[in-house]
Amino acid sequence: MLTGQQFDQSISTAPFSIRHSPSFSLEIGVNDPSQVEQAVTVLNGFKEMAKGFVPEVAQAMKMGLDLQFRNENGRFFFDLVVGGLLGGVIQETASKVNFQLLNYAGLADFHISSQASPLHALTNNLEQLVRSACFTEIVAGGEVVNTRTVLKIVQLIVGALKGSDGKHSKNLNTVIGFINAFQHLGFEIKFNPRSLFDAIRDSINARSSQNDKFGVLSGKFTENQGMLNAFVEQGKMMSMMIADYAPMLKNLNLDKIYVHLNFPVVRTSFQLHVHLNGITDFINQNFLG
């Protein structure tokens, strides 16, 4: 998460629509940055075709939703920008506080790492899948500059939402007084994989009258696994339909995807980094030839 001056710096080179409207962005890694512009051109062509042939797309764009593709210094972005009527509602709600005049900055990191992978769903049984997911670590940290300003913002927002309730206001002031003592917060969580798996399995079994509910779910998972593999086989047969675009698609590195949620009116963005090791090779081998 980036807020205040940290947010201003991170978004300074983005297009006008991203800097002034709420947006959801996907940044996908690429192997050859020189090919990104070609991909943007092709996808913009598809978007124009969709506007003419899919009424729902044209209607969504009239309301203010716009899907944009861009090349930013060799980085490939999909942007869903909320403007028009929908954007106006969001802007009006947040305009009760003029965030542009407030001097504050902050950042926060939240990392989750796990041995589990979506590809395991094709080959592993449910117990193997859950056990690999239990090898998980969570690390988080954050820092705020000019904490009083940030907490004042929270106070103003809560006050605007709840009205002038004296009791709530006093309680909030007390909480703010304690939080104001912190500038840097962080924590790290590591699980015992065996104990976590046992707890998950016991919790599932305890919620059912069946003796081994987890075992029953494992059987159903194995049945559905056959459907997943059948879908992959169908995808292989359909790969010829997109053969002309295979070189462009192979340039995408789906192992690294970055999700950005930008809210310029409150000078805040949330960024999620998703690392799916092996997913690019899997798609290239099974769907792109």
CA-CA-CA-CA dihedral for 78, 80, 81, 87, to nearest 10:
-170
Nearest to 133 by CA among 117, 149, 111: 117
Pair 132, 115: CB distance under 8 Å: yes
| DSSP string for 173-185 | HHHHHHHTT-SEE
| Core vs surface per residue 180-194: b (16+ CB within 10 A) or e | eeeeeeeeeeebebe
Are 10 and 276 a contacting pair, CB within 8 Å? no
Two structure tokens written together for 198: 């046992």
Output the tens digit of pLDDT for each of the chain's 289 residues: 777 777 788 888 888 888 878 888 888 888 888 888 888 888 888 888 887 777 887 788 777 788 888 888 888 888 888 877 666 776 666 665 555 555 656 666 767 777 777 777 777 788 888 888 888 787 777 666 655 555 565 666 566 555 555 555 556 556 555 555 555 556 677 778 888 888 888 888 887 666 778 888 888 888 787 777 787 777 777 777 777 777 888 888 888 888 888 887 777 888 887 777 788 888 887 777 6
C-alpha 193/C-alpha 201 separation (Å) is 12
Of 223, 224, 231, 222, give the one whose Cα is nearest residue 286.
Answer: 231
Looking at the whole model, is its pTM more than 0.75?
no
Tokens coding 132 = 């690999």
Structure tokens at 5: 């001056």
HSE-CB of 211 using CA atoms within 13 angstroms: 0
Task: Identify the three-state secondary structure at position 14.
Answer: coil
pLDDT of residue 94: 61
**DSSP letter string, 204-262:** HHHTSSSTTHHHHHHHHHHHHHHHHHHHHHHHHHHGGGGGGGHHHHHTEEEEEEEEEEE
pLDDT at 90: 67
Structure tokens at 7: 């947010």
